[in-house]
Structure 1
Amino acid sequence: MASAAQFRKVADIVSSDIERRIVVVSAPGKRYKDDVKVTDLLIRLAEQVMAGEPYGQTVEAIVKRYADIVNELGLEAGHFLGELNDDLQSKISAYRHEPPRLLDAMKASGEDHNARLMALYLQDRGLAASYVSPLEAGIIVTDEPGNAQVLPESYDKLNQLRDRRGVLVIPGFFGYSPSGHIVTFPRGGSDITGSIVAAGVQADVYENFTDVDSIYCVNPSIVVDARKLKEITYREMRELSYSGFSVFHDEALEPVYRAGIPVCVKNTNNPAAPGTWIVAKRNHIDEPVAGIASDTGFCSINISKYLMNREIGFGRRVLQILEDEGISYEHTPSGIDNMSIILRADQLAEGKEARILARIREELAVDEVTVEHGLALIMVVGEGMEKTIGMAAKATMALAKANINLEMINQGSSEVSMMFGVKEEVVNEAVRALYHAYFRELTVTRPS
């Protein structure tokens, strides 16, 4: 949705199928590599207001981005640009002294005005289209700025959209709290809105248009000619999204998963491509592994104490120390005399690491506690692994042949995924080794 060219592509997609009744749009993104997303401009605007700095030029830059789209589309939409400027100024006045609400209101306006503009353009193309605000649609969310969660009562109201005629254009990324405040979803929020709306109207399918032809079983920047997935299950997609896949936000799956609505991930720039289907079940016989994902920036708190397993409440007290510092963890692999806690390393900033280690030593009288930085996690995901013998052995053999040392291995009880910890500097090499082990067609790879 970054430019007039993308608007035309979206309009072509919508008009090509009369069953495409509801459109959820994101804010204008980058038009070229060094461009700035409108959302980033809006965040800059909020920060300037909060710091008491001049912000007129940023407002002008935001309005100009929309003006460029308007002019290139040949629309008579001077009133739209005036309303955009007035809306920004109104939100600044309303929330100037409430930083979290100001930031949410600014961020949300990117999607909001893009939806208004898309509705105007579809009307110009001869479609019976209308803009529908999240408030009018009934997207009611918790009052947690930047971390909204949809409330159950939203779905009954959303279902009434089925009775509306024409194409409905709804902005993604935000809803309204019960008290009427704008509240944004976490990152990937437009995906979340689309999923909520699809579930609310009981759609036949939720088409999620992005900039790739399909979901790949591994990051194509790591493995050249990586295999495209025809289908993947909700559970597999959630595991992969959580573990580093950036195509589809993991939280966006929950509404459609519960409603049993299939998702088709397609390419705005190549809508004829079949895309990837996210479904409840798939055939796991030929491909027990669905994909491999990786992410960096982790560390491990390693604790050793003789007879740890006999000490009632030991793990609870360790996690309480983390909770006191406002830290969440990812995994806790353990043995009888040791346990490790895997977490995002950036959470240990501002002196938290020293405080946590000191408390663990003092309060739990451990033999040793250390922090290992520079970890990457690799997740091998597939619902078919549970009934396939030798899946873990295949991974460890592949990593051993690649001369990669395993820092950690962990498998959940559901056996949908296996997690491997390696040093960050060898993570791409490890991903390639695992790809070749699990997917039969070998490919040419790029160097690390």
Structure 2
Amino acid sequence: MKVAKFGGSSVANATQIKKVCDIIKSDDSRKFVVVSAPGKRNKEDIKVTDLLIELGDTYASGKAYESVFEKIVKRYADIIEELDLPKSLLDEITDSTKKTLESDEPDEIKFDAVKASGEDSSARIVSAYLNKIGIQATYINPKEAGMIVSNQPGNAQILPESFPEINKLRDREGVLVIPGFFGYTANDKLMTFSRGGSDITGSIIAAGVKAELYENFTDVDSVFSVNPNIVENPKEITVLTYKEMRELSYAGFSVFHDEALIPAFQEKIPVCIKNTNNPSAPGTMIVAEKEQNGNCVVGIASDTDFCSLYVEKYLMNREVGFGRKLLQILEDEHVSFEHVPSGIDDMSVIIRNSEFTPEKETRVVERIQQELQVNTLKIRRNLAMIMVVGEGMKSTIGIISKATNAFAEANVNIEMVNQGSSEVSIMFGIEEEGLERSIRSLYKAFFG
């Protein structure tokens, strides 16, 4: 029994949806199907979810929204017409989207429902086409599936009581097609996961039904060891552990949502990343444990748009509670942090720029100076983080030496290094302008 999740590129148009249904038809064990909203048909195209966000913003501002609405309807109309599905399906999707938009719900709840309509419409279309080609299929709304989530618009979390309800889906006949990205609160309010949350839905369903395999179909044959936009023809990764994939996805690998593996990880369900356009390719397996052979480094990931908050105070290490007080100030200002490398008399907090707005920066700086009496306080922006990832690195001699030599060969200065308690990754902070040189040099050092 498998759960197959298909991303936005896999349902972007009728041609792709036909491929999806052929994949489902080719394997009777693919009983549970989770779909995203239609993605880009080409590089210049717009994702349906982005159009829906624009629709919600336009409607909320009181401006004329009809042109955006028509773009969305046209996407569905083209798909439904080419699949030769009943026009009544388009009417149903159109009416449902408009009803959601004009509802009396508070704006943040309504906005979640508008965003989620993309996945919901995809599921209805895929289910209808499966039935058309002779496969018994049923559209299952997340509420019916038992997806009970926390009351956090745009950032919902699955609740433990969901899993026994989801497990009941095993008793249903035929293929069940479930929209990703959202669930319902105990009070029947629709809430979405964070962006890219269809991956989360797939993992939750896999955990709930205790699937033998969770297949995540995307538009690449496998996970690469490094960004192929930076390094030409990089090495493919055939097997990864959950921990390695979690580190890679957090640090900029766009193949998988960084929260998505958690439910599958908890149930030790293997995950396979496969290509909708080349389903016979073996893909990348993600497992709980793997045998170590050869190079312990499996991948190099990176992300940009970070800043560092650096504080220095003489005898900081003797001041009980200093770190807690610093982080408390950030918490009070609703600023989340990513890393906290520290020394005896100094401490850095790595924060995403989007979290640390100029207004928050001003308040945080004032409070640190007044409450902590530091000797030095510096803020640096335009930083990039690079993660060298692989199980067994902590016990392998020479990894950091090899990495630092690679930075030197790329003529890039390392601003910070953080391994800390992680056994599967080492983080390097550098200025953004040296990112691509560093990635190429690191790839050469670890993969040849």
The 2-side partners of 1:139 and 1:69 are apart by 28
Give the equivalent residue in structure 2 for 1:5: 15
Q: CA deviation at 1:401?
A: 2.3
User: Is 2:309 the partner of 1:301?
Assistant: yes
- Are 1:368 and 2:368 an aligned pair? no
Partner of 2:344 in structure 1?
336
Q: CA deviation at 1:346?
A: 2.4
Whether the 8 Å CA contact 1:59–1:85 is kept in 2: the answer is no
**Which residue matches 2:364?**
356
2:321 is the alignment partner of 1:316: no
Matched, 1:208 2:216: yes
**Match among 58, 61, 69 for residue 51 of structure 1:** 61
Quick one: distance in 1 between partners of 2:225 and 2:126? 33
**Higher deviation after alignment, 381-390 or 118-127:** 381-390
Equivalent position of 2:164 in the other structure? 156
AA paired with 1:141?
V
Within the candidate set 50, 55, 60, 2:70 is matched to: 60
The Cα offsets for residues 36-60 of structure 1, whole Å up to 9 and x where unpaired, read as 1111111111112211112222222
What is residue 445 of structure 1 aligned with on the other side?
none
1:87 and 2:96 aligned: yes
Q: Which secondary structure does the structure 2 equivalent of 1:94 belong to?
A: coil
Partner of residue 190, structure 1: 198
Deviation at 1:320, TM superposition (A): 1.3
| 8 A contact 1:287–1:384 mirrored in 2 | no
Q: Does the CA-based 8 Å contact 1:385-1:416 persist in structure 2?
A: yes
* Residue 409 (str. 1) matches residue 417 (str. 2): yes
For normalisation by structure 1, the TM-score amounts to 0.96
Alignment equivalent of 1:34, drawn from 44, 58, 78: 44
Q: Is 108-117 or 388-397 further displaced after alignment? A: 388-397
| 1:54 partner SS | coil
Q: Which residue identity does 2:151 align to in structure 1?
A: D
The residue that corresponds to 1:257 in the other structure is 265
Structure 2 counterpart of 1:179, from 170, 183, 187: 187
Residue 119 of structure 1 is aligned with which of 127, 147, 160? 127
**Structure 1 residue aligned with 2:34, among 17, 20, 24?**
24
Match of 1:323, as an amino acid?
A: E
Contact 1:213 1:267 in 2 (8 A): yes
Q: Does 1:277 align with 2:285?
A: yes
Q: Distance in 1 between matches of 2:64 and 2:373?
A: 54
Compute the displacement of 1:98 (Å): 1.2
Question: Residue 167 in 1 paired to residue 175 in 2?
Answer: yes
- Counterpart of 2:403 (choices 386, 392, 395) is 395
Is residue 2:141 matched to residue 1:139?
Answer: no
Aligned equivalents of 1:402 and 1:128: distance in 2? 57
* Equivalent residue letter for 2:173: R
With normalisation by structure 2, the TM-score equals 0.96
Residue in 2 that maps onto 1:233: 241
Give structure 1 stretches of 5+ with no counterpart: 443-448
Question: Distance in 1 between the 2:422 and 2:352 partners?
Answer: 24
The secondary structure found in structure 1 opposite 2:115 is helix
Which residue in 2 is equivalent to 1:15? 25
Aligned counterparts of 2:381 and 2:171: Cα–Cα separation in 1: 55
Which residue is 1:446 aligned to?
A: none
Does the 8 Å contact 1:299/1:345 carry over to 2? yes
Query: What is the alpha-carbon distance in structure 2 between the residues aligned to residue 272 and residue 141 of structure 1?
Result: 35
1:378-389 mapped onto 2 (5 Å cutoff): 378-389=386-397
Question: What's the C-alpha RMSD, in Å, of the aligned pairs?
Answer: 1.1
Deviations 1:184-224 (A, max 9, x none): 01122111100000111111100000000000011111111
Map of 1:70 onto structure 2: 80
Comparing 123-132 and 50-59, the one that deviates more: 50-59
- Of 27-36 and 167-176, the range deviating more from structure 2: 27-36
Mapped partners of 1:262, 1:311: distance in 2:
46
CA contact (8 A) 1:142 1:149 kept: yes
Distance in 1 (CA, whole Å) between partners of 2:422 and 2:305 is: 26
Which runs of no fewer than 5 residues in structure 2 stay unpaired? 1-10
Give CA-to-partner distance per residue, 1:89-115, whole Å, 9 cap, x none.
Answer: 2212324x5111111000111000110
Percent identity of equivalent pairs:
57
For the residue of structure 1 that corresponds to 2:154, the secondary structure is coil
Q: Specify the code of the residue in structure 2 equivalent to 1:188.
A: G
Q: Which letter does structure 1 place at the counterpart of 2:110?
A: L
Aligned to 1:287: 295
May I ask how many residue pairs the two structures share in their alignment? 438
2:53 maps to amino acid: I
The Cα shift of 1:350 comes to 4.0
Aligned equivalents of 1:2 and 1:252: distance in 2?
21
Give 1:96-107 correspondences, 5 Å limit.
98-107=106-115
